[in-house]
Structures are given as C-alpha cells and as structure tokens.
Chains A and B, each alone.
Chain A
Amino acid sequence: MSADDPVVSMRDIDVHFQDDGGVNPFADPETVRAVDGVDLDIPENDVVAIVGESGSGKTTLGKAAVGLQQPTGGTVSFRGQDIWTAKKRFSNPSIPYSEIRRSLQIIHQDPGSSLNPHQTVEASLAAPLKKYESELGPEDREARILAMLERVGMTPPHDYAQRYPHQLSGGEKQRVALIRALLMNPDLILADEAVSALDVSLRVEVMDLMLELQDAFDTSFLFISHDLSNARYLAEHADGRLGVMYLGELVELGDAEEVLRNPQHPYTKVLKWATPSLSPDEGAAEPPVREIDIPDPVDPPSGCRFHTRCPYATEHCKEATPEQHSIGAAAHQASCFRLDDGSDYWRSDPLEGASLDADER
C-alpha cells in the first residue's frame, strides 16, 4: 500500500452476468461474459481511453474500475487495497471504504438523467460538499459552488445555481455533472460515453474542459467511448493511452498515438477503417471483415474471439487463445498470434475468406 501503487489496479477481472431463464425451470441459465480476464492499471494523473462496440464490455469494465460493479472473478484494488474487501464490515482495511468511494467518481452518458430533476443545480452540487466537507457552512458551500460554476464557464453563476436541470442545455448539464464529480477531489473519474449524447460541435468543447480540469486537479480519467475519433482526441491530447475491447477482452493497449499510427491487432485496424475521416479519399469500400455482425456475447467464439470475422484468421486461431504480446518498448501490447513469429499460426490453414496476408488498408 505504498504511494507508488497505481490508483486503480485490475487483475484478471471477470464480470459474468447470469440470466435466470425466467419461468422455465429447465432452461439453461445463460451467462453473459461481459468482461473476461482483463488486466489494467491506471496510475495517478493518467488518461486512458477504452474503445469498443456494443457487447465489448467496456462500460462494465469502467464501472468495475470505479467500484460500481462487483467483479465475479479477479481483483480490483485502490492504491493496493482491494475495494470489495474494504466494503465488508469487519475486514479492517488499510484504506477505509468511505475514502475509496470518495476517490472514484463517474460521469454518465445521458445528460438528461445524470442530474436529479427535482433538485436545483445548487442542491445537486451541495450534496457532495455536505458529506465530505462538512466543516463548511452554508455560505462557504455556496461560494465554492459559485466559484466552480464560473470556472467551467457557466456565468452568471448565481443564475445557473438556481436552475433546475430541465432549464439547462445538454452541454451545461454535463458540466454540472463534471463539477459534481470534481468537488469530491477524486483520484479517478470514469467518463462513460460522456460526450456521445452531445452535438458534434459541443464535443470538443466539453472534452477540452475535461482535459483542462484533469490537468488542474490532478485527476486520472478513464474515458469510455464507441467513437474512435473522440477517444483519440482525448487520449492524445493528454498523452494518454488507448485500449481496445472486443467481446469482453482487452485486445490492444498502448500509447494513444502509437496505437493509432501503428495498430497491431486486426480488430483495431478494422475500427480505424470504420471511423470516417474528413478527407475525401475513400479507402476500401468493402468492410475488411469476413462477417459484419458481432457474435452474441452469450456464446463467444472459441479460441481468439475475433476469428469469425478476422481477415487473417487460420485454424489455429479457432483453437487457441492468443496471449498478450508486447511491441517495441513503449508498453504497447496486443493479443494476436501474428505478433509471435514462432507461433503455430503461421503454419496452419487460413479459414474461409481469410488469408495470411490479406490486403492491408
């Protein structure tokens, strides 16, 4: 439990959801393996962006990281202290759960439901202050709230403080949510698709604000997104990392600029293709996957989960699961057999529609 411990450390995290099967007692319970065997460390003052499509488990991973989702396997630790052990009543942890809870916060995707519609902005923001800075009197609380509102550009602050959420625009609501999280001086904030519901022209503004505040308050950010452009903007600006998830597994992780310039996992390459840019050149018009649809997370493919769609897949990919391989020196890793020159992959037969050297984009 030293100061060098990362803020949040996840080891071999599994989050599996059981579906009861409803009324039928003979139905097999279906297990959704939302997150499977993920390792991720988030040190102080770091920005990590996780990208994935639906069924990738990225939101579940995010919530597990901030202690809002209990993993069914593996451990989540805050500065060395297992979060869920600390929550148990008689465990006598070295870091009390209340402190952990304060240090891990969340900003939601939908600004419309992230604020209590019955409370004014001031009331919503006073709640964390009342709990964690109880020595502040009501005037001091108000002053702090007004100062923070002004800091994020909502002026005149008096006016905004008395408004109800329905009197704010989407961007304004997100800013209030951001202030609410920051007022507790957390060590890590989970931004769960925080800009996806906003208009395109507003996204850069809110992301800029997040970056500014991240820098000023020394908070780490875990930014979840299905949009690679947004994730890239945030991660690269902060010199942070980018991770890619597919069907519950973290398939690539590394320095954001590096991952995008030199993607190693076939799925990352596909995501890059799928993210349209403003340049008029077309790129390949056909999707570079063998199968457009994502497999059902209840029954993920065997071996490497991407093998059903990968343009480079072989028989070996169907049978064995690839390990994480490091590329270069800069902590860039990806789970693909192609990174291992000695792997059996190179000797096995390609699957239908795939080839060992499928055309690169």
Chain B
Amino acid sequence: MSERTESLHAIDDGEAFEAVSDTTMSREERYRRLFDRLILAPGRIVWDDLRARIGASIILLYVLVGLFGPRLYKAPRVNQGPRSVTPLSEGLAYPLGTDNLGRDILAQLIHATPSMLQMITAGGLFVTIMGVTVGTTAGYAGGRTDRVLSLITDIVMTIPGLPLIVILAALLAPQNPIVTGLILTVNVWAGLAREIRSQVLSISRHSYVEASKAMGLSTPTIIVKDILPNIMPYVLITFVNAARQVIFASIGLYFLGVLPYDSVVNWGVMIDQAVSGGAMHVVSMAHWLIAPLATITLLSFGLILFSQGTDRMFNPRVRARHSTTTGSDDEPTDDDAAATTGGVVR
C-alpha cells in the first residue's frame, strides 16, 4: 500500500473535474456487482460461520414447514387415530404419537407453525421498528423532540408489562396471531428505544456524520447510511430476543388460560393440554409434552445461533474480506484505532 504522489498526470484539473465515462458498463455487469456486494458477500459471511449456518438452517426449516407443511401433511382431528399412542409404535402413521383425544401430535405441531411464525414475526418486527424509529429519532434530533419522545418511552417502559398484557388480552380476546404478537410486545419496545438512543447519541458525534450534514444530505439519508449500519448488530439481537420473548410469553399465557383458544392449534395450547392431560405424571404420555417443548426450544436456539453469526455481517472488515470486488488484503494499518464497529465475534 505505498503512496505515490505523482499526481500530475496527463489529466489536467479541468478534465478530472469534468470527467465522464467513455464506456458504458453493461447493466448486467452492474447488477452483478450489486448482487455480489449486497447479497453474495453477506451470504458468504453468514455461511462461513458455523453458528450462523446451523441457525439459518433451523429457521429455514421452520419457515418451510410453516409454508408448506399444512398442505403436505394431514390436519389434526379428534379421533383420527387411537388415543395416547407412543411415537413410532404404529410405524410411520403417527411419527410422534397421538394425544389423549387421538389427534396426531406431529400434525398439531405442523399446523400450528404458520400462526406461531406470524405471531413471532409480528411481535419481533413491532418491537424492532418502534424501538429503532423512536430511539434513532430521539437520539439524532435532540432538543425538544428528544425530550418528548424520551418521556413517552419512559412512561411506556414503566407500565407493568404482565398486568397490561393480561388486561389487553382479556379485553380484546385476540384470535388473530398477528394481533396477539402485537399485544405481547406492547411495551417491550421502550427498552430498546432507550438503548438505541444512547448508541445513536455517540455515533452522531463521529466526524463523518458531521461531514454528511455539511454536504447537505437529507436527514433520512444520513440516518440510513451513517447511523443505522452502526446499530444493526444491536437491532438484530433485539429482534431475536423479542421473537423469543413472544414465544415464551404466548406459551405462558395460553398455559395460564389468559389467552383464549377454542380450536386454535398452538404449541402453547398443546403444552397446556398435555399438562392437564397428565403428561407430567405418566411416562407413557411424556411424548405429548416433550414434542412441543422440543419444537419451541429448537426454534429459540436457532434464532440465537443465527443472530450471533450474522453479527459479523455488519462488520466492514469482514465484509471486505468476503467480497470479491475488493482486494482480499485487508491488513490493518498503523493508525488503526479501535475497531469502528464492535469486535468480530468469534
């Protein structure tokens, strides 16, 4: 990386300043480069990390089951099979056995997946979007906007979560999984907003943010280009945590009977029914309880692994190394101060 100062080439000043292209890069070439940068390079980083790979595969599995499972596998019905059958004892007819009403357990798990995924996604997105929007606006704008938003955030944060959810659930009696997801995270976003706000406060002090302001770039542009990439690892982890919270909260609340269900098939419902059906006391019925528990645990685990792995995706040093359009040589130079984003998670 030697510095050469023979700057007085044939290019004279007027020319450099007015230069326009004399070739046209084909659209194809341009899209290919964009694709490499935005999708392939991050993809490669994610694939590179074992945790992310495993996590992504697990999540993908659930998504696929959610999308195609109900179509491909039979729906659970009462008395579709003999009652309380242990897994695989009847061959492949009931791979996870049946419950005390003769419903196929695997069928229940599969058919509950779409609504669970909807709930989790709704809740996670709600927390993330609200938290990031409010936190970033408060942190970046400062002044009165900040004071007002922070006041609102603080109020929401201090309202006791569980009683609030219970009351809302009782009032609204939600059947739609998306609405349920929103209710379950109604005041969780406030904590994230607070944390994002303090991150944004320190990022805003970086010189390049001031340089962007000096260039006259619009506020949305500055937020998207300069601020957000720095908080992305944080945002991702919070999304995953919120998703997990939704899972556990929903199960807990179904279990407690706060959330109503009739024919709603749901992993939490299954647990509730399993416990009241005596699965905790009778070993031969244990599979009824273990199946939904394992399902929940596996999804949760997958989310955690994935978030740990993708954290690296937002580190520009790692991206540079995986991208084919930059040089592969990214030796740190003498005046590298502390890493600009968090350290590489390894």
Please say whether the chains A and B touch (CB closer than 8 A). Answer: yes
Q: How far is the CA of A217 from the CA of B14 in the complex (A)?
A: 8
Of A139-147, A240-248, A294-302, A346-354, the one touching chain B: A139-147
Check B327–A68 contact: CB distance below 8 A: no
Of the residues A110, A140, A162, A164, contact of B21 by C-beta under 8 Å? A140
Cβ contacts under 8 Å, A101 to chain B: 214-216
Closest to A151 in B: B16
Check B13–A119 contact: CB distance below 8 A: no
Of the residues B212, B329, B335, B340, contact of A111 by C-beta under 8 Å? B335
Closest to B320 in A: A164
Of the residues A68, A113, A150, A164, contact of B316 by C-beta under 8 Å? A164
Of the residues B5, B214, B225, B317, contact of A116 by C-beta under 8 Å? B225
Check A184–B215 contact: CB distance below 8 A: yes
A205 interfacial contact with B, CB 8 Å: yes
Q: How far is the CA of A340 from the CA of B138 in the complex (A)?
A: 54
> Which residues of chain B from 156 to 215 have a CB within 8 Å of any chain A CB?
206-208, 210-215
Check B225–A170 contact: CB distance below 8 A: no
Count how many chain B residues have C-beta atoms less than 8 Å from C-beta atoms of the other chain.
55
Check A118–B211 contact: CB distance below 8 A: no
Check A105–B319 contact: CB distance below 8 A: no
Chain B proximity mask over A203-241: 1 for CB below 8 Å, otherwise 0: 001000100100011000000000000000000000000
Check B16–A147 contact: CB distance below 8 A: yes
Whole-angstrom distance between the Cβ of A230 and the nearest chain B Cβ: 18
Of A18-26, A33-41, A152-160, A265-273, the one touching chain B: A152-160
Cβ contacts under 8 Å, B22 to chain A: 143
Give 4 new A-B contacts, CB below 8 A, not counting A113-B340, A119-B225.
A105-B214, A164-B317, A169-B333, A170-B335
Q: How far is the CA of A104 from the CA of B213 in the complex (A)?
A: 11
A168 interfacial contact with B, CB 8 Å: yes
Closest to B6 in A: A153
Closest to A163 in B: B326
Q: Chain A, interface size: which category?
A: 35 or more
Q: How far is the CA of A68 from the CA of B336 in the complex (A)?
A: 27
A274 interfacial contact with B, CB 8 Å: no
Check B320–A143 contact: CB distance below 8 A: no
Cβ contacts under 8 Å, B17 to chain A: 144, 147-148, 185, 217
B341 interfacial contact with A, CB 8 Å: yes
22 sampled A-B residue pairs with Cβ under 8 A: A101-B215, A101-B216, A108-B207, A109-B207, A113-B206, A113-B340, A116-B212, A127-B221, A143-B22, A147-B11, A153-B4, A155-B4, A162-B327, A163-B327, A166-B332, A169-B335, A170-B333, A172-B3, A184-B215, A197-B335, A202-B3, A205-B5
Cβ contacts under 8 Å, B325 to chain A: 162
Of the residues B5, B16, B332, contact of A148 by C-beta under 8 Å? B16
A290 interfacial contact with B, CB 8 Å: no
Whole-angstrom distance between the Cβ of B235 and the nearest chain A Cβ: 14
B61 interfacial contact with A, CB 8 Å: no
> Which residues of chain A from 49 to 101 have a CB within 8 Å of any chain B CB?
66, 68, 98, 101
Check B9–A106 contact: CB distance below 8 A: no
A324 interfacial contact with B, CB 8 Å: no
Chain B proximity mask over A256-288: 1 for CB below 8 Å, otherwise 0: 000000000000000000000000000000000
> Of residues A66, A166, A209, A216, which shows the largest number of chain B Cβ atoms within 10 Å of its Cβ?
A166
A304 interfacial contact with B, CB 8 Å: no
Of B23-31, B75-83, B89-97, B115-123, the one touching chain A: B23-31
Closest to A177 in B: B211
B39 interfacial contact with A, CB 8 Å: no
Cβ contacts under 8 Å, A117 to chain B: 316, 340-341
Cβ contacts under 8 Å, A66 to chain B: 214
Given contact pairs A163-B326, A209-B7, A127 touches B21 in the complex (Cβ within 8 A): no
Q: How far is the CA of A155 from the CA of B7 in the complex (A)?
A: 9
Check A147–B316 contact: CB distance below 8 A: no
Q: How far is the CA of A116 from the CA of B30 in the complex (A)?
A: 23
